[in-house]
A and B are shown apart, each in its own frame.
Chain A
Amino acid sequence: MASSPRLTHLQSLEAESIHILRETAAELQRPVLLYSMGKDSAVLLHLAKKAFFPGKLPFPLLHVDTTWKFRDMYAMRDRAAAEHELIVYRNPDAAARNINPFEHGSELHTQLWKTEGLRRALAEYGFDAAIGGARRDEEKSRAKERIFSLRSAHQRWDPKNQRPELWSLYNTRVRPGESFRVFPLSNWTELDVWQYIEAERIPVAPLYFSAERRVVRRSGAWIMMDDERMQIEAGEQPEMRRVRFRTLGCYPLSGAVESEAESVGDIIREIAESRASERQGRLIDQDTPSSMEKKKQDGYF
């Protein structure tokens, strides 16, 4: 063993993410941080605050709303908005057509509210870099993506022709209309995120912790009845279960897992032993095989 001091794994990850955030702010004209109220967003926001300390964030936050998030998530958002400039964008088309996951299905719902909503928001505000909390360990096509991921003028990702990305040198050049998705958490795993949340005492939505919740069984997952808009299908029986969420999205599309984990420490132990992947509960990833890659090519985060 060399005697020289070394950073811990979490310290290196933190330093790398801060470096990426500072590069984004220094080199892009108009970056924005996508804030979705989940644990990854919470970590990302925390890192951004650290990156620009003692200054303020040099970019606004953007939430591309679907109107179908959990109530707890909207409460989180309000807290973030009290502290930072936060833009809420709702795709007016989706709003006008009253798009919802029950009548229109998860695919169209996601397409219009999220993919199309993000696309329009970026275009309307002229953002040339959208910073997001996606991680490579989440999904097999994400594992392939660069940290600075180029989008064409049509916001498309071309996975077969990505820019080489050497060391920590990021080529941030864009032509008119082109933009970047920047992923400072690329090299973090779910476990890293929770260990960091524990170490830094970062507040996250209570939905991550186990509690008695009103749920129904649907497509092999527990769906929470978060508000009165929830539609029950024939044969479904609402019941109370001790559940928690590993990822958060629109409540009718987010599957909860049965769990006793009530603290961050419990969650870390649970994940270390878990045999199921993080995204298992997400109904939208399972529409078609490789559906994440297709969505990403279309401009989904």
Chain B
Amino acid sequence: MKPENPFVALLSLLVGLLFLSPVLYSIWMSFQTADDFYAGRVTFTLDNYERAIGQFNFARYLINSLIVSGLVTVLGITVATLAAFAFARFRFPGGDLMFGATVATLMIPSHISLIPNYLTLAKAGLLDTYAGLILPAISNGFACFFLRQYMRGIPKALDEAAYMDGATHLQVLWRIIVPLSRPAISSMALYIFIAEWNNYIWPLVAVGKQDLYTLQIGLARLYRINPGEGLIDWPLVMAASTITILPVLLGFLAVERHLVRGITMGAVK
């Protein structure tokens, strides 16, 4: 790598700080008491975290969010990978049409499917359940499209070599295609996880029981905690926000090293 131009390095640092500043500010704020914050005094307290977790049930919401986002990610990636493998490697009647339909779903705003999904789940009796939160999110047209494109870049000779070695279709997928698609699959997993983590509308619609609230719903409710005083308890909201963004940050750090690595090198001369 070239040595960095010091001016560019300084500029990058400043831009980075600029992006980070609201996050840092809110984390800082989450350690103040409301009174001190509005009075302009600087203190340090864990009180807001205690209240968010104890009084306002955020531990529960965190678990719900982890369950829902985790399962949506695992199931969504599974479905997308299987479908992508089929679209990338097999010609079958209606295949092109089905792939076209999959791509077409990318152009449908999610809000349009909100009511149909609600009615379907209501009929199935799945409102106010984890299944109701998870099922509509596991078919992901974008992930399928993205993985299919990536898999088409893997030389078909590798599949054929595996078939000659005695592999079944699923063994080819699991032993050859999936390991070689790891960068794409990790990216998609992260993308699905974050999208589901931040999903607000669907949990709002599909769930009424407080026990099933996800973090986003819980967070939104916090704004209405102190309506009488006319003031929002910002330090409390910021503590809850910090609880909300932390898992995403950790998740990103966990998969980041898989994201950009090219693995196909050396497969075919």
Whether both chains belong to one complex is answered with: no
Which residues of A approach B to under 8 Å, CB–CB? Answer: none
